[in-house]
Structure 1
Amino acid sequence: MGSVKTKRMPRAVREQQMLDAAVKTFGQRGYMAASMDEIAELAGVSKPLVYLYLNSKESLFSACIRREAATLVEAVRSGVRPGTSADRRLWEGLQAFFTHTARNPDGWAILHLQARTHGEPFAAEVAAMREEIVAFVTRLIAVAARDGGTPCSNGAESLGDHGDPALPEHEVAGLAEALVGAAESLAAWANVTPGVSARQAAATLMNFAWAGLGDLMEGRPWSPPPPQAEAPR
């Protein structure tokens, strides 16, 4: 069998070609089942060249995680236009997230499934990406709350650190964590459910989240019932 012939091209281009092949292989076959041989064949290069560029299977997988994480974060950030209404910004962020994960199902499988189940340092790479998205969503919710003005029980507005109407910091952080977690699960479901578009997935989560956020911003939070007294033993 003849060796794989490769055309000369810039190193950065060749490396992206290898990463494309690796993302597809890892995303569809899983980290453990994927082999460097099939990645090299899909990329149209020799296996020694893959090792020369990316050192090892572990390094290649880490490079895939970093690239896919960076492109997802950038897609969400760039999808939100400044200066629009609070609900529009949240909608744009959700739509950008679901559009990207739908268009890149192999990359999303790596981030959401593969990287989290194979220990460190892979899980740490994904955790860093998630923290960045949660921080971005936290700011979106904080701005929405500030713009909406949340009345307190005494009729005044609750004020943030800069004198702006705002939800309590822990409330905003919790809402952001919940929203990101729901988006992650919904994206995984949407990618394997025929007929569910990115826009539909975004609208589903927007309807679920914004109704509750709207009530909070208008001073109508849901309160749990008081704990019942323990029955005598």
Structure 2
Amino acid sequence: MATDPQALLRLLQLASPALPVGAFSYSEGLETLIQRQVLQTPDQIYHWLEQELCYGAVRLEAAVMLRGYQALQVHQLERLDYWNAWLSALRETAELRQQSWQMGRALVRTLEALHPDIAPWVTAVAGPCHFAIAFAMAAVRWQIDAEDAMLGYLQSWASNLVNAAIRLVPLGQTVGQRLLLDLSPTLAQVAAAIPTLADDQLVVSGWGPSLASMTHETLYSRLFRS
């Protein structure tokens, strides 16, 4: 069945690099790994991105985005707040937490300006709103299918980090597009698997990127904020 054209256009807008949330300014530890010459080739970048999608924190962010989406659909705003707080506890470094909060705050400001009626959703979140939760608000408000929203969330993450790698390694633009094409099967597989995860299966194995993120602030020079 074809996706509704209006919903597809809204999804493209939500996952677009033009979305004013500042995603381009974050590398999530990738800058540290490239400066330390742990990642230097397209194959190494691809492997890192693939492992992060399959086992890293972005998989859990997408799972929380889905739970936030489901909570909004049935008006369980206390669950929205619960999962937002859960994400705050999950974030293992200060830079990653600030990234998620800052991107979430920027998206919430945009949504509030476009749709003042979402105010009860925003008010229900007691702490700073994470990007995944704000993304769920946008997806529900714009009537984007949950599975499409989840795939868009993952694709947006991959695109941002590929663009970071293009600047840091550096890679050519064509190589970056090849990386995204090669990641397509993994993106689809991860998006299909996430809805099957029970709450007690939301675990992450990402100590390497976590350590890279922790030491990012001590780099001599930085292009990115995480």
Q: TM-score, normalised by structure 1?
A: 0.31
Higher helix share: 2
Larger Rg: 1
RCO higher in 1 or 2 (8 Å CA, sep ≥ 6)? 2
Q: TM-score, normalised by structure 2?
A: 0.31
